[in-house]
Amino acid sequence: MIEDLYTAAVSLAGVLLPALSIGQGKLARGIRGRRGAVERLEAWAAGSRNRSRPLAWFHAPSVGEGLQARAVIETLRELEPEMQIVYTWFSPSAESFARTIPADVADYLPLDLPGLVRRLFDALQPDVIAFTKTEIWPNITREAERRGVPVVLLSATLPAASSRLRGPARALLTPSHQRLSRVAAISAADGGRFEALGVPPDRITVMGDARFDQVWRRVKQPLSDPALIELLTGSLKAPGDTTLVAGSTWPEDEERLIPALAALNDPCIRLVIAPHEPTEAYLTGLSGRLRAAGLSFAFLGDEAGVLARPRVVVVDRTGVLGDLYRLADIAYVGGGFGHDGLHSVLEPAAFGAPVIFGPNHDNSREAGELVLEEGARSVRDQKELEKLLTEWTRAPETRAEAGRTAGRYVEVGLGAARRGARVLADIAGDHRSPLRVPNTSMPM
């Protein structure tokens, strides 16, 4: 069986991983973070697991999926305040984010090995397991089926070009998908494609994308740093100013964005730029690019420099981009000129900012839909970026209408988190019902 070969490969990886745990790379940090995860979760269960209360175990591999999961968790807390919630993640990039999840306990997901998985089930005694978007794990679904624990895939997506529909990936993943109790898909088209992985049509529903609810909640929250926004408002919002907020940028973005801003030679167009990785080395390189372009700049942490009204404010910290988008007359989202994928366009859209990004956005359903709705524009090069910035600066009403369109796009997508939470609450309730008949019809 292909799942047995998978388990053997994971077991071999477990033997080799200690040798790869040295250093500060993502792989090494992930290996170190996973050490002791089973024991930590067992310790939590021994001291805090209340067997009289239902428990939902959420897993999201990284931050993007975590945002979807968090929206559902927050809504589930409102609907079912007695439910206990466990949250696990895979990528070390999600470690700090996971601490913001309103779960009873959060930790790395241990390796998907039968012995470790059995220990987790013995300790947690989950009533429902919720995977998010794409990632499901074969041995977890196999153990869940053995114990009669329902497994749900939330905000599920399966693009037509996905490798999961072909070759070895399809062979490995089909049994796991056949075990799913429910696929709550982003769209009807996504849902239909899960049938090719063996999910019966009567287990497929459409819930939408819970990220819409997450970013909308973010928009409605109070400012996390009101003094920061007051400082920037005083610096960037003089009459006639147009504020461009560029979020999650990479060098490929800045190679177009900075020369475009310099070429416009318009002191009323002000840029706030938040690099994806504002390390000391990265900020040094960005400073050099700004100096070479002849653009005055100040770091966000330099209050006097910001008050001097430079052309560019460089964000030298993380965790503030959500607030900064509130200031945007125009938003630029990074990643569209590289090959690692466009970053999320939903947050600036939710704040009612028209969005610009590069041509490589096939990984983002929302980017393509926003372009079709005319709430966003994709540019192919520096010249197109210059032209669009000129257009939206000189025609503020056109720009504002594009922003309103972007905001409406997000509003229309709301409600997925509640639908997903309702699915989990109902399934967990059925699992606890004394009249429940275990489902033995699913393939092994």
Q: What would the mean pLDDT of 43-67 be, rounded to a whole number?
A: 95
SS3 assignment, position 127: coil
AA letter at 325:
Y
pLDDT at 441: 36
Query: What three-state secondary structure class fits 330?
Result: strand
**Rounded percentage of the chain residues whose pLDDT exceeds 90:** 83
In the structure, what pLDDT confidence band is assigned to residue 77 with cuts at 50, 70 and 90? very high
Interval 199-228 mean pLDDT:
93
Spatial CA neighbour of 36 closest among 26, 21, 23, 24? 21
DSSP 371-412: HHHTSEEE-SSHHHHHHHHHHHHH-HHHHHHHHHHHHHHHHH
Say whether pLDDT at 439 is over 70. Answer: no
Phi and psi angles of residue 206, each rounded to the nearest 5 degrees, phi first: -115, 125
| 115 against 439, higher pLDDT | 115
* pLDDT given at position 443: 34
In eight-state DSSP terms, residue 315 is -
Stretch 192-197: mean pLDDT: 96
Which pairing describes strands 330-333 and 242-249: parallel, antiparallel, or unpaired?
parallel
> 3-state class of 28 per DSSP?
helix
- The CATH superfamily holding the domain 224-412 is Glycogen Phosphorylase B; (3.40.50.2000)
| Contact assessment for residue 333 and residue 353, using Cβ atoms and an 8 Å cutoff | no
On whether the CB atoms of residues 296 and 319 are closer than 8 A, the answer is no
* Crossing angle between the packed helical segments 382-394 and 396-412, to the nearest 10 degrees: 100
**DSSP code at position 106:** E
Average pLDDT of the residues in 147-159: 96
Question: Could you read off the pLDDT of 249-307 as tens digits, one per residue?
Answer: 999 999 999 999 999 989 999 999 999 989 999 999 999 999 999 999 999 999 999 99
Mean pLDDT taken over the chain: 93
Q: Which CATH number applies to 2-208+415-431?
A: 3.40.50.11720
* Sheet with 55-59, edge to edge strand ranges: 105-108, 84-89, 55-59, 128-132, 151-156, 182-185, 204-206
Q: pTM to 2 decimals?
A: 0.86
Q: Alpha helix locations (H) across 148-264? A: 167-178, 188-194, 211-220, 226-236, 251-264
Domain 2-208+415-431 and domain 224-412, same fold? Reply is yes
Domain spans of the chain, in order of start: 2-208+415-431, 224-412
pLDDT (0 to 100) of residue 434: 56
Distance CA 320, CA 368 (A): 26
The label of the residue with tokens 């489902």 reads 439
